[in-house]
Structure 1
Amino acid sequence: MGELNLYGVYVPILLIQSILAYVLLKIVMIGTDRLVDRGWIAWPSIFNLCLYVVLLFLVHGLFILCAI
């Protein structure tokens, strides 16, 4: 994808995507914490990692679709 030049500092696009995916993860975790408290999710840390990877792929896909 490349990088973005902000006042002479090159910022990778993947860094921007990962920060956006992390913010979305924190929003989604508000709802999934209830499921963890009820015991519906066995391993919350692995679930959150997988959820972050899925959100990162979705954000990356949206960036690709917007670039076309």
Structure 2
Amino acid sequence: MGEINIYGVYVPVFLIQAILAYILLKVVSIGTDKIIEKGWIALPSIFNLCLYLILLWFVHWLFVVFFG
């Protein structure tokens, strides 16, 4: 998708998407922590990784739809 020039520093768009996905992960993890504490999720670290990848895909899709 390219990069954005912020005061002479080129920042990749994918980095911005990754940061937004991480912020969303922290918001969503407030709700999923309750499920993890109850034992419904067997491998919480893999679950969180997959959840982050899904959120990253969603944020990337939104960027493509609205800015592409």
TM-score category of the 2 structures, normalised to the smaller one: over 0.9
Q: Alpha-carbon deviation of 1:26? A: 0.3
TM-score for both structures, normalised by structure 1? 0.98
Shift of 1:19: 0.1
Moved over 2 A (4+): none
**What's the CA shift for 1:67?**
1.5
CA distance in 2, matches of 1:14, 1:50: 18
Structure 2 residues not aligned, in runs of 5+: none
1:60 aligned onto 2:60: yes
- Partner residue in 2 for 1:46: 46
* Letter matched to residue 28 of structure 2: V
**TM-score, scaled relative to structure 2:** 0.98
Alpha-carbon distance between aligned partners in 2 of 1:38 and 1:67, rounded to the nearest angstrom: 40
Q: 1:67 and 1:17 mapped to 2: Cα distance?
A: 12
Tell me what 2:15 maps to: 15
CA-atom RMSD in angstroms: 0.6
Count of aligned positions: 68
Inter-partner Cα distance in structure 2 for 1:45 and 1:67: 32
Identity %: 65
2:35 counterpart residue number: 35
For the residue of structure 2 that corresponds to 1:41, the secondary structure is: coil
Please give the alpha-carbon distance, in whole angstroms, between the structure 2 residues aligned to 1:7 and 1:42: 46
